[in-house]
Amino acid sequence: MQNPVPAATVVLMRQAAGSSPQLLMIERAAGMAFAGGALVFPGGRVDPQDFELARLIVWPDLDIEERAARIAAIRETIEEVGIAVGLDPQPRPEQVAEIRSALAAGGDLAGLLADAALRIDLSALVPFARWCPNFREARSFDTRFYLAVSPPDAVADADGGESVHALWARADEILALADSGERQVIFPTRRNLERLARLADFQAACAHASAYPVRTIRPWIEEREGEKWLCIPDDQGYPVTAERLGTAKRA
């Protein structure tokens, strides 16, 4: 197996009146090799340019891999759904649209932010989890998950390429859609949704995350009473830590 591809994703949250927070999900294009047709959180691989920008940012207590991952999460969220998190000051919608368009045309995030007089605020992203499943021998992703608050009145717009639809919904609603067969979610997404469904708001999610220091989760298969189960550790804050292998959507 090749070395895992570093990746980052954002659990973008907005508070709904009288209920638990809504999360932003995107539907991957059906033809995509990874998680085609499934609902996932916005994100993607960490690019060399993310590491280049990370080298220019001094941030106490964060190594370059962590800085690059957070930068990738910020960039990918702009590219995939047109929402900017982790930028200071908060850009106007038209600025975000301009940056998104320039990124799609091959623009450099560092230069685009400098032109717009914006800086990156890595503290806006709160580490929540890190998953490195070995579901496919030819390729695997080492993905860092971050929590972030959606800017007020942000409108999510799928890019029409890798993502074909964007939706806001509570974690329990997304799980219900998956259970009914209306939507698909892969194993790591389901486990994280189950964890998030128990949290009342962003502050509760941050407190929960701080109680479980991030450790890389590598699912494994074990046999229980003649059946194969896909398992994860039971000390990382997940309410469900095993699923029958036959029902688990792995990619």
- Convert the pLDDT of each residue in 162-220 to its tens digit: 788 999 999 999 999 999 999 999 999 999 999 999 999 999 999 999 999 999 999 99
- Residues 154, 156: Cα–Cα separation, whole Å: 6
Place of tokens 């400098």: 114
Percentage of the chain modeled with pLDDT above 70: 96
| Helix runs in the chain, H state only | 48-56, 64-81, 93-104, 109-115, 171-180, 187-196, 202-211
Which residues contact residue 161 at a Cβ distance below 8 angstroms, ignoring those fewer than 6 apart? 29
Residue 118, pLDDT > 80, answer: yes
- For 192, the token pair is 């994280």
Residue ranges per structural domain of the chain? 5-213
pLDDT band at 159 (very low <50, low <70, confident <90, very high): confident
pLDDT at 94 over 80: yes
Tell me the pLDDT band of 134, cut-offs 50, 70 and 90: confident
5-213: CATH topology? Nucleoside Triphosphate Pyrophosphohydrolase (3.90.79)
pTM: 0.95
Which residues, listed in sequence order, are joined to residue 205 by a DSSP beta bridge?
none
pLDDT value at residue 174: 97
- CA 144 – CA 140 distance, rounded (Å): 13
Distance between CA atoms of 192 and 217, rounded to whole angstroms? 12
> What's the confidence (pLDDT) of residue 185?
95
Predicted pLDDT at 1: 52
The region of weakest confidence among 34-43, 53-62, 74-83, 120-129 is 34-43
What's the confidence (pLDDT) of residue 140?
85
**Per-residue pLDDT at 29 exceeds 90:** no
Contact criterion met (CB below 8 Å) for 157 and 104: no
